[in-house]
Chains A and B, each alone.
Chain A
Amino acid sequence: MQAFLDIFDIYLLEAVINGILLGGVLALLALGLNLIFGVIDVTWICYAELVMIGMYAMYFMVQYYGLSYFVAAPFTILLVAMLGAALHYLVIAPLLTAPPINQLLATGGVLFVLQSFATVAFGIDFRNLGIRLPVLAFGEMHFSYARLLSFLAALVGMVAVYLFMTRTFTGTAIRAISQDRQIMALMGVDTKRMYLITSAIGGGLAGLAACLLVLQYDVHPFVGLSFGPITFLICVLGGLGNFIGGFIAAFVFAEIISLGGLFSDLEWGYVLAFAFFIVMMFIRPAGLLARRR
């Protein structure tokens, strides 16, 4: 019995730590979505599909053109950032005065477009990068370097965005717009330009997430559906537009998925996360960190 408990504890600890490592990437995705919601007041339903395109970009640059992973990554981030800006310019900008629901559905249409574009261009095969990173053994626990690297890179990305938002003039302007979008235009801030920059940053974060996720998961046209819903849940639970709430919620969800996956299938981890989400909505309807009325 004692021996059984020892093994069990080690697995439990391993799952907890893996959950934290998964949380980093989820927090990165939630940050991008929150940023766009907070500043432009739209929700990109197709956010996970941008990540999917980024994963394909990584795959082709590394596999076909033989670029090294670390050379390809900046290109991917740049590409998805441009894609984010294009999405804003082509789809969101004409709809800025439309009811929020129409904006949301338009990005839903983009979701269709991106998925079928990937199907047309790349086929429905599962592809992976073919990079096998070694596994780090720590005592009797095993962690893949891929996850460790993702976690650290996600943290670096989030700190970089934080510094940009607080230390630069543009970042300050973006934060000001998220507080009052009418007044900032009167103060001489070019809101259109700020929206484009924000969309590019949001896209860039999706690109970074793509670089990290491609290390752990195979890429196929519908890969976005496997982490899109969970990102939305995280953002709602953290409070849409609330960066810190999103950060905490990402780790809470990652733990639930990781621990749920320990006891049963990974899909049940997702189901458990959703059940938890419903319960939390009864307790804290406006998000984890919202002040109670």
Chain B
Amino acid sequence: MMGQGRLAAWGIGLAALVALPFVYRDPYHLHILVLILIWSFAYTSWSMMGRFGLVSLGHGGFMGIGAYVTALLWNHLGWSPWIGIPIGMAAAGALALIVGYPCFRFRITGHYFVLVTLALSGIVLQVITATRDYTGGSLGYTPNRATGNKLLALQFDDKITWYLIALAVWLFGIVVWHWVDRSMARYALEAISEDEDAAAAAGVDVTAEKLKITLLSAVMTALAGAVYCQYQMFITPDTVSGIAVSLQMVFAAIVGGLFVSLGPTVGAVITILLAETLRIGFGTKAVGWDNLVYGVLLVLFIIFLPKGILGSVLDRLKPQRKVPRAHEQEAVQIARPGT
């Protein structure tokens, strides 16, 4: 439940975010903000299922489908992204159901589930590369510039419009997160992540509940991919699809904190700022150094701070919290060995 004070804090924070581009117009900083918002939305979408122990490394695939379907329909058939984006989301949802159903029906969990989804994102990458006659392969793909109505083509030149769009999409993600958080499905999914058999015995339809959250998560990730494509106007298989993108999502969500609504957003802020700082700091001469430092930091994070930054800070602020959930307790124990 959200108290009056928290609601007010959210309202003020949002008003400040909406007002920001009208006060502060540095294009580079706005660009970084737009990227942070879009990726935050993608990471939030991932964490919707990740927080229930459904660790998917296939979300790079869903994101790639959202981006490429939208761009391909626009370039080859001239269909507006307003039609293309829903089709891309539906395609990602269909793929999620095709892969998810056997996984959940036959209790493929843990390592198996991670490896299956990992292979899924690898395969989507292969398909995009294989159909290089249409998608441009690994060289990347650019949606055609709109000649007519900009709104119909969902292409805008100014950063402020994109900032507001990204903000709306991000807010939508946070709202859905809270909606799931307060629904019955959350209790069912938490029960499933503790013990599937016990949950099934208590009357939870394990397969259906898992499929629903997977579908929601995949569809939202596809939307993130499509928005990213419309904003950047250039996509390559490596930037929107594949294993690296999937891992990036998981890391950001973990770094920020999986079990709080703003965790993935904090993760996006940290990882994108880190990547940008390292990129600028090392310059163009030292290609790869930024990722090297990034990777080392991520490994250290998982070893020493498994609850994520925001999760750990919130815990520090509220020591007398109600009984934590078992999987959070586990994470706390790992963070402080010997207790």
Contacts and interface: CB of A to CB of B under 8 A. Distances in A.
Nearest to A282: B102
A120 B106 contact: no
A265 B130 contact: yes
Interface in B102-142: 102-103, 105-108, 110-112, 114-116, 118-120, 122-123, 125-127, 129-130
Contact of A94 (B99, B242, B254, B303): B303
B291 interface: yes
Nearest to A94: B303
A270 B302 contact: no
Given A225-B242, A281-B108, A109 B102 contact: no
A119 B291 contact: yes
B306 A98 contact: yes
Interface in A164-222: 221
Interface stretch (B183-191, B200-208, B220-228, B292-300): B292-300
Given A120-B286, A267-B130, A268-B130, A113 B299 contact: yes
A210 B294 CA distance: 26
Interface of B is mostly: helix
Contacts, number: 150
B41 interface: no
B235 interface: no
Contacts of B243: 111, 225, 228-229
A94 B303 CA distance: 7
Nearest to B122: A229
A100 interface: yes
Contacts of A268: 130
Interface in A100-117: 100-102, 104-106, 108-113, 115-117
Interface string A254-290: 0000000000010110110010011001100110000
B55 A104 contact: yes
Among A101, A110, A113, A277: residue with most chain B CB under 10 A = A101
A43 B55 CA distance: 14
A229 B117 CA distance: 10
Contacts of B126: 267, 270-271
Contacts of A282: 102, 106
Interface string B302-339: 11001000000000000000000001001100100100
Contacts of A240: 111-112, 115
A236 B287 CA distance: 35
Q: How large is the interface on A (under 10, 10 to 19, 20 to 34, 35 or more residues)?
A: 35 or more
B199 interface: no
A290 to B, nearest CB: 11
Contacts of A106: 299, 302-303
B86 interface: no
Given A225-B243, A229-B122, A235-B115, A108 B106 contact: no
A179 B306 CA distance: 29
B242 A120 contact: no
Contacts of B11: none
A99 interface: yes
A102 B327 CA distance: 12
B118 A91 contact: no
Nearest to B299: A109
- Pick from A100, A229, A286 the residue with the most CB of B within 10 Å: A229
B288 A116 contact: yes
A99 B291 contact: no
Contact of B110 (A100, A105, A116, A274): A100
Given A98-B306, A98-B334, A99-B330, A110 B119 contact: no
14 contacts: A100-B111, A104-B55, A109-B296, A109-B302, A112-B244, A112-B294, A115-B291, A116-B292, A119-B287, A119-B291, A233-B115, A271-B127, A271-B130, A281-B108
